[in-house]
Amino acid sequence: MKFPAFLLLLVMAGCSTGRVVKTEKAEGINFQNFKTFDFYKLEASGDTSSSKFASYTGILREAIARELAAKGYNESGGNPDLLVNIGIVVKEEIQTRETNIREAPRYIGQRRYSWKSQEVPVGRYKSGTVTIDLVESKKNNMVWQGVLEGIIAERQKGYESDINKAVANLFAKFPD
């Protein structure tokens, strides 16, 4: 199965499809002790990557960096206090509907057969999850996790602003 990387990012697209699933803070963590952040290297291989993987995931990284900067953190390539790990999972789903007796064949005569309701495929779509983990670099402990999930839109127009909105909604739940 081959899918473009931009679809991975579109998991957060739109208010009606992208939603914050959870945010979780480790106990006993004072975020005032952290001042800097950097990103783990984001890698993908095989059928999950496309020629535009770096540019599309860059949009996600920029949105996260912007939100962390708004919270008072500075991006640092040296020895950061926090490391950001991004996990992306995409699944192809099948939309179905259930048949009913009214759809059974019209037949006059003897009924020597049985009819059962069935799930009939009516469409395919992709759903995805983006997990953002903040890891305290000195102790290598996760201190915060945020998860977004939703339906991946097929459209390309406007996905950058949709990603920005979804990441902003996620970081609105980030501890101060």
In the chain, where are the structural domains located? 5-105+116-171
Residue 1 has pLDDT above 60, yes or no: no
Residue 17 has pLDDT above 60, yes or no: no
Q: For residue 118, with 0-12 CB atoms within 10 Å meaning exposed, 13-18 middle and 19 or more buried, which class applies?
A: exposed
**Which of the pair, 133 or 115, is modelled with greater confidence?**
133
In the predicted model, what is the mean pLDDT of residues 45-73?
Answer: 80
Residue 174 has pLDDT above 90, yes or no: yes
> What's the gap between Cα 168 and its chain centre?
14
pLDDT of residue 108: 59
pLDDT of residue 32: 93
**Which of the pair, 110 or 128, is modelled with greater confidence?**
128
SS3 for 5-49 is HHHHHHHHCCCCCCEEEEEEECCCCCHHHCCEEEECCCCCCHHHC
Which numeric CATH code is attached to 5-105+116-171? Answer: 3.30.160.670
Percent of the chain with pLDDT over 90: 40
| Integer Rg of the chain from CA | 22
Question: What is the distance between the alpha carbons of residues 26 and 63, in angstroms, rounded to a whole number?
Answer: 23
- DSSP assignment of 67-94: HHHHTT-EE-SSS-SEEEEEEEEEEEEE
Q: Which residues pair with 112 in a beta bridge?
A: none
Outline where 83-175 has alpha helix (H): 159-171
What does pTM read for this prediction?
0.74
Q: Which residue's entry shows tokens 């069935």?
A: 118
Q: Both tokens of residue 61?
A: 């990284």
Residue 118 has pLDDT above 90, yes or no: no
